[in-house]
Structures are given as C-alpha cells and as structure tokens.
Structure 1
Amino acid sequence: MDKLTLYIANKNYSSWSFRPWMALTGGGIDFEEVLIPFDYPNGNPNIKAVSPSGHVHLLQHGALKIWESFAIIEYVAELYPDAGLLPKDRAERALARSVSAEMMSSFRVLRNACPMNIRRPKGKIAMPGGVSADISRIQTIWRDLLQKSGGPFLFGAFSGVDAMFAPVVNRFDIYDLVSSADTLAYMNVMKAHPAWRKWEEAARAERWIVPEDEV
C-alpha cells in the first residue's frame, strides 16, 4: 500500500489540521507528516504547490489527494476499518456523519471569536452575541452522544468524531467558556489522550507567532 502523507499547518493555530492528525494518530495509523507553516501576510506558496484548494490540511495517498477533515477521516476509516475511526453500526455511522458535518458547517461565531491557540494563557474575553448559542448546541451534541454511548468518548471509544471536535475542546478550555461538569469531564478525557498530548507538546515548541486576527 502507498504511504499516507498528511500535510498540515502550524500546530498551535491550525484547527483544521488538528482534526485529521488527531484522528490518524489516535487511531494508530501510520503516516508521514509534512508541516507547511502559515507565512502571513502573503501566505505560503508551498501550500498551493501541494493542495488543489490552496489550503492545508491535505492527505495524499499515492496520486490521490483528499482535503477537508471528515473526508480524510472517512477515507482512512475505509482503509483501516479496525482502527475505530467510525462506528461499525450503520445507524451510528450516520449519526457520526451528521454531527461531524454540523461541526464543519456551523459555529462560525465561536470560530471567529475564539481562534484556536494552544499556547494562549487561559482566560475569558469579551464575546459577541451568538457565541452562547454555539456553545449550548455543542454541549447538547456532546451530552446526547455521551449519554447514548456511556462514554468516555462520544461514541464510547475514541473515534474520528472526537477528533472533529478537538479544536472546540481547546477553545472551550483556553477561553474558559464552559462550567458544566459533564462537559469538563469530556474535555479532560480528550486532553489526556496521548494524541492530544503529542500535538500540544509540538505546538508549544513552535516558534511561529501569528496575530489572532489573522488566524
């Protein structure tokens, strides 16, 4: 089988890179990592040389190039069905796709107000209207899935769906956005995962600094 190569951006800032990286790493999938850092204000021309969309993250498998987080996760889940990246039950997979698609397409107020930043000191900031609705909906998704599965992850064991929400865990944590016990318990489980800790360690070691209004 051709090797998998995952192109990512800065680990401190790139929420989109974090998702497939954590899924593959947490699933025990062997892949080569290539980091192409943000280079503001003019962008990094190396990204366009690799990615048809002009953005990273991107997974390359032989001649095939796949972009968008959940497309990468689904593809790798088909290659490695025993890795647990998606539920084996068809109805559960449909639910996993639904919440993952909602994560990709929604919560723009939260994204814009609270950029991912692993190194940011924890603390509250002024929030625009609409953030509370995003927070409430995400907590409802988590609560429903955890109650259904029994936890500790959203579908019981770690899966690609947890990886899809990993940047939200960072946002909730560093901007001190939540206080409910069940939400905090799930966040602690995520932050204790070896893949999370490996990403965080690398992010804290990076030297690039990107202003928050450019992330």
Structure 2
Amino acid sequence: MSLVLVIGNKAYSSWSLRPWLLMAEVGIDFDEILIPLDEADTKERILRHSPSGKVPCLVDGDVAVWDTMSIMEYLADHYSDRAIWPADPVARAIARSVSAEMHSGFPALRKACPMNLRKRFPFLGWGGPAAAAEVARIEQIFADCRSRFAGSGPFLFGAFSAADAMYAPVVTRLDRYGWEVSAATRSYMDAVLALPSLKRWTSDAAAEPWVIAADEVELPAK
C-alpha cells in the first residue's frame, strides 16, 4: 500500500501544503485524499483517517501520523536517502529550529494574511506593527540561514529541504499580500515560487470550487 496524505483545500490549507510539497519535491510517491474544509461533514470525513480530526495526516498502512512536523520526521526516518533535512549536524539543528519556530509562531501574520492562492492584494499595512515585526523576523531567518548554510544553492540550506517546505506558505503570503521585502528575501521567494510542485499545487488551488468565507480577505471599500 502506498503512502496516503490527507489534506484540505489547496487554496487555503497552509498546513496541508507543507508535507505535500516536501514529498513531491524530494520524490516520495504518495496518493492524496482531499477533504474540503468548513463543510458539514468535514470533521466526520477527516476522522476516518486522522485521530485529531485535523489535516494533514499521513497514512502508511495501519499507521496514521498527524501534525506537519511529525509527518516530516516520520518521512526523514523512513526515507533517509531523500535529504529531507540537511546532512550537516549543525545545519540540521538550525533547520529544525527555524521549522519549529514557524510551526508555533507568527500569529499576527497568519491572522492578517490567511493563505489564499486565488487572490493578490496591494500592501495595506496588514496586521499592523505586530505582523511587521514577524515579517522582519522571517527575513532575518532567511538571511541568517542562507548566509551560513546555503552556499551557492537557492534555498535556506542550499538544496531544498523540509525547512523550505515549512516556510513555503509564508512565501506565498508575502508575495500575494504585497509585502515589501529585501532583494535577498525576494530572490529566495522567487526560488520557492518557481518550484514545479508548488506551481502544480497553485494551479490545482485556482481550479477548486470551494470558498471559505473566513479566509477571504477583502479590500476595504473606497
């Protein structure tokens, strides 16, 4: 039986995107089950696969692994040849640290700029000073990782890794909500946005019929 990744809407589900992108980019074969979020039967359908009632969930035979970071660690354990984390121990520790920071942090940016891969906005001061401080920290993370570990590669640790998958939804937020970022940040963002798998996910998102009102930020009336 192949691996199955249970995910939510591709337009909105940032947590689903992370393991999906990682698996697609490092060449791990899997099937996907997409369960639309915010529907009357969403929780019931997810619970058939995920004991938490949330997505994403990786199903490997009779094993279910939920939570994005846990899925990535499971994949690293079972696909050690796929360079899911950097090989160097120091780089690997930093990659896990910045991934964990993303996992638990940046609430103001998440709230002000929910992932929506069907819209683009001009910058409108999203989230005020709190979100601006979080974006500054994200840029600092990008600059630090790339200066210390990237070498000539385009990603945070040179080659694509789980850390880039963790930050991919934030890259889409910065891009689609018009955040002004440094040239170095923009270069990294462009590398992530050019990933074939992210392009495929975004194309799928654009074709989805479902709309989640809570994630549909609208421009203020003039």
What TM-score results when the alignment is normalised by the length of structure 1?
0.94
Kept in 2, the 8 Å contact 1:37–1:44? The answer is no
- Residue in 2 that maps onto 1:80: 79
| Shift in Å, 1:93 | 1.5
Superposed CA deviations along residues 178-215 of structure 1, whole A, max 9, x for unmatched, are: 33100111010001111111111111111111113589
- Residue in 2 that maps onto 1:153: 155
- Residue in 1 that maps onto 2:177: 175
Kept in 2, the 8 Å contact 1:47–1:55? The answer is yes
- Residues 62 and 146 of structure 1: CA distance in aligned 2, closer, same or farther (over 3 Å): same
- Residue in 1 that maps onto 2:44: 45
Deviates more, 1:55-64 or 1:39-48: 39-48
Q: Could you say what secondary structure the match of 1:50 adopts? A: coil
Kept in 2, the 8 Å contact 1:40–1:210? The answer is no
Distance in 2 (CA, whole Å) between partners of 1:213 and 1:72 is 25
In structure 2, give the amino acid aligned to 1:120.
K
| Count of residues in Structure 1 that have an aligned counterpart in Structure 2 | 214
Superposed CA deviations along residues 111-155 of structure 1, whole A, max 9, x for unmatched, are: 011000000123223423300110000000001111112231001
Distance in 1 (CA, whole Å) between partners of 2:126 and 2:185 is 20
- Residue in 2 that maps onto 1:31: 30
Deviates more, 1:42-51 or 1:2-11: 42-51
Superposed CA deviations along residues 76-103 of structure 1, whole A, max 9, x for unmatched, are: 1221112121111222221111111000
- Residue in 2 that maps onto 1:196: 198
Is the aligned partner of 1:66 residue 2:65? yes
Is the aligned partner of 1:163 residue 2:165? yes
Kept in 1, the 8 Å contact 2:86–2:157? The answer is yes
Q: For the aligned residues, what is the CA RMSD? A: 1.7
- Residues 29 and 213 of structure 1: CA distance in aligned 2, closer, same or farther (over 3 Å): closer
Whose RCO is larger (CA < 8 A, sep 6+)? 1
In structure 2, give the amino acid aligned to 1:163.
A
Where structure 1 has 5 or more consecutive residues not aligned to the other structure, the ranges are: none
Kept in 2, the 8 Å contact 1:74–1:86? The answer is no
Kept in 2, the 8 Å contact 1:120–1:174? The answer is yes
Q: Could you say what secondary structure the match of 2:154 adopts? A: coil
| Shift in Å, 1:48 | 2.0
- Residue in 2 that maps onto 1:114: 113
| Shift in Å, 1:64 | 1.1
| Shift in Å, 1:49 | 2.3
Kept in 1, the 8 Å contact 2:56–2:68? The answer is yes
Distance in 1 (CA, whole Å) between partners of 2:25 and 2:215 is 30
